[in-house]
């Protein structure tokens, strides 16, 4: 998968400007929206569970944001689906969760989340975290390409 493309052009290249947001909590969605303003980023919101997979396939996002504590969207199920699809398994993911839920953090990591942070850190550093996840993924992809 080519991670250098900036626009989705039907070739399956990742659109680094599009972020899929699997967050239904209005407070956190607003944080994401305010931190990732246009024209820098385009947000695609997953409103229901199937949106996560469908929109990931449709827009080839540069990253996906998950609220691991979201009661409306099952992030664990979505991560399993993404990992099972070779077209989607390499999309970088940023997740946030309650800092006291160690099992949630461990399970997110086991499912391949690129970075998991506390809800407070996510709120304070949303844009920086998204850019870090996307940048580290590009570096890792370029390194693998040289092997």
Kindly list the strands in the beta sheet with 15-22, ordered across the sheet, starting from the edge strand earlier in the chain: 42-45, 15-22, 61-67, 93-97, 115-118
Q: Which residues pair with 67 in a beta bridge?
A: 96
Domains of the chain by start residue, with CATH: 15-145 (3.40.50.2300)
In this prediction, residue 15 carries a pLDDT of 63
In this prediction, residue 13 carries a pLDDT of 52
pLDDT in tens, 101-119: 999 999 999 999 999 999 9
Average pLDDT over residues 80-108: 96
Least confident of 37-46, 68-77, 90-99: 37-46
Instruction: Give yes or no for residue 6 having a pLDDT over 50.
Output: no
pLDDT in tens, 23-68: 999 999 999 999 998 788 999 999 999 999 999 999 999 999 999 9
Which residues does 92 contact at the CB level (< 8 Å), separation at least 6? 62, 63, 64, 114, 133, 134, 136, 137
Least confident of 59-63, 75-79, 85-89, 143-147: 143-147
pLDDT in tens, 115-130: 999 999 999 999 999 9
Q: Copy the structure tokens of residue 38.
A: 């246009």
């Amino acid at each position: 998968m080519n991670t250098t493309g900036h626009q989705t052009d039907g070739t399956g290249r990742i659109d680094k400007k599009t972020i899929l947001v699997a967050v239904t909590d209005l407070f956190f969605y607003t944080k994401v929206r305010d931190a990732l303003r246009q024209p820098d980023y385009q947000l695609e919101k997953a409103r229901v569970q199937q949106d996560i997979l469908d929109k990931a396939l449709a827009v080839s996002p540069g990253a996906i944001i998950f609220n691991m504590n979201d009661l409306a969207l099952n992030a664990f199920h979505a991560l399993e689906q993404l990992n099972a699809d070779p077209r989607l398994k390499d999309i970088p993911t940023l997740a946030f969760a309650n800092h006291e839920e160690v099992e949630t953090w461990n399970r997110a990591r086991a499912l391949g989340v690129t970075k998991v942070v506390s809800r407070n850190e996510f709120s304070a550093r949303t844009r920086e975290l998204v850019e870090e996840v996307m940048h580290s993924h590009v570096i890792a992809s370029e390194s693998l390409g040289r092997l």
